[in-house]
């Protein structure tokens, strides 16, 4: 045996020896990226996950949360690439923020696709959800569980919005996803993409007239303070959150620890989804008390918005995948409703 093959054999032997102990090589700390901190439901989901993992691993596995997308300098649409490349170990990300890299995630952003919570669940908990996780895996990231940012409602500083015509010419801050540009353009508004970090300043200077976010975000971030006096509950889309891991980090854990981390993510996600949905009535009350005019839309009013955004489906269905959109529509049509 020559020196080279001896070296190869020795390396192979070391690898074989090391393999059973791969799970023992834990880092002192694993980074978890989120956009929103506590007390937003998103940040609470992260906290819960870290707590459950610490508890169930007797403190062996330490998840450290980095909110405000700080690991990517606040640039939330760079979170997915950073998770894929290993700059970040774990993340809980919004489907909107990750959609530039995973086109299938735009499914949830199709306007008025999901009329209620049962519709969201029909997607995330069914075959559509599995296919979406498959797509995330295909991009080199390991998806673990679902959470929820929430149904996104529309606010502005100018007037009550009841019809698409009311949106005409309004500058609306949107997240950096091209589908949102198309939706708001179809409605006659002027969408402007920017990170969450820039949104409140832009609202306060009047650089933009409005924004869209879940009620929890509107209330906790005190969006009413920056002149957002009108809120329309149009539930036009909801962004689920995905708990996920970098692939190499994931493979560095033992089978048992992977199971522990995954189950903790599932439990934290379920806890957060239930809790944030249950908080909606009190959030509405609090926002009303902040002096905001809240507008509910009738079915006919909603239909006008749906019609005005129909072209978004034509543009985006091929990018998301015809089969996935069809599967989603069927799952929603067949969902259990009370």
Contact stretch for ligand X2X (CB under 6 A) within 8-16, 90-98, 156-164, 179-187: 90-98
For tokens 């009303």, name the residue: 288
Residues between 6 and 25 with contacts to ligand X2X, criterion CB under 6 A:
none
Looking at residue 87, the DSSP 8-state letter turns out to be S
CB of 62 to ligand X2X, least distance (A): 25
Tell me how far apart the alpha carbons of residues 10 and 301 are, in angstroms, rounded to a whole number: 72
CB of 295 to ligand X2X, least distance (A): 20
Tell me how far apart the alpha carbons of residues 205 and 280 are, in angstroms, rounded to a whole number: 29
Q: Does 149 bind ligand X2X (CB under 6 A)?
A: yes
Q: Does 238 bind ligand X2X (CB under 6 A)?
A: no
Rounded to the nearest 10 degrees, what angle do helices 310-320 and 322-333 cross at? 120
Report whether 98 contacts 80 (CB < 8 A).
yes
CB of 309 to ligand X2X, least distance (A): 19
Q: Provide the sign of the torsion angle of the four alpha carbons 33, 39, 40, 42, taken in this order.
A: positive
Runs of H (alpha helix) within 100-139: 117-124, 127-138
The size of the interface with ligand X2X (CB under 6 A), counted in residues, is 12
Q: Does 91 bind ligand X2X (CB under 6 A)?
A: no
Q: Does 156 bind ligand X2X (CB under 6 A)?
A: no
Q: Does 268 bind ligand X2X (CB under 6 A)?
A: no
Q: Does 239 bind ligand X2X (CB under 6 A)?
A: yes
Which stretches does DSSP call E strand in 21-83? Answer: 30-33, 63-66
Contact stretch for ligand X2X (CB under 6 A) within 52-60, 77-85, 94-102, 200-208: 94-102
Among 97, 192, 216, 252, binds ligand X2X (CB under 6 A): 97
Tell me how far apart the alpha carbons of residues 261 and 277 are, in angstroms, rounded to a whole number: 24
Q: Which residues bind ligand X2X (CB under 6 A)?
A: 35-36, 76, 94, 96-97, 149, 175, 196, 213, 217, 239
């Amino acid at each position: 045996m020559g020196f080279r093959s001896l070296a190869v054999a020795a390396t192979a032997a070391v690898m074989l020896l090391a393999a059973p102990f791969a799970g023992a090589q834990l880092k002192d700390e694993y980074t978890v990226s989120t956009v929103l901190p506590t007390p937003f439901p998103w940040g609470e989901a992260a906290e819960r996950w870290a707590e459950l993992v610490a508890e169930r691993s007797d403190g062996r596995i330490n998840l450290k949360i980095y909110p405000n997308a700080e690991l990517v300098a606040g640039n939330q649409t760079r979170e997915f690439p950073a998770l894929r490349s290993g700059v970040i170990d774990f993340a809980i990300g919004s489907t909107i923020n990750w959609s530039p890299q995973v086109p299938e995630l735009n499914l949830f952003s199709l306007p008025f696709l999901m009329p209620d919570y049962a519709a969201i669940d029909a997607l995330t908990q069914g075959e559509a959800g599995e296919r979406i996780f498959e797509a995330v895996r295909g991009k080199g990231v390991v998806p673990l569980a679902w959470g929820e940012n929430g149904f996104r409602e529309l606010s502005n500083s100018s007037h009550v919005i009841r019809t698409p015509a009311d949106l005409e010419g309004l500058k609306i801050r949107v997240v950096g996803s091209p589908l949102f540009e198309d939706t708001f353009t179809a409605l006659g508004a002027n969408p402007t993409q920017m990170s969450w970090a820039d949104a409140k300043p832009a609202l306060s200077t009047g650089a933009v007239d409005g924004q869209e976010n879940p009620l929890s975000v509107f209330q906790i971030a005190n969006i009413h303070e920056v002149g957002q006096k009108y809120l329309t509950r149009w539930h036009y889309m909801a962004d689920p959150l995905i708990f996920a891991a970098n692939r190499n980090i994931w493979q560095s854990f033992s089978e048992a620890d992977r199971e522990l981390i995954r189950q903790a993510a599932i439990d934290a996600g379920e806890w957060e989804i239930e809790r944030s949905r249950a908080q909606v009535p009190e959030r509405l009350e609090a926002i009303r008390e902040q002096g905001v005019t809240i507008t509910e839309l009738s079915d006919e009013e909603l239909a006008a918005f749906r019609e005005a955004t129909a072209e978004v489906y034509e543009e985006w269905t091929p990018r998301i995948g015809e089969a996935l959109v069809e599967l989603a529509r069927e799952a929603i049509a067949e969902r259990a409703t009370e």
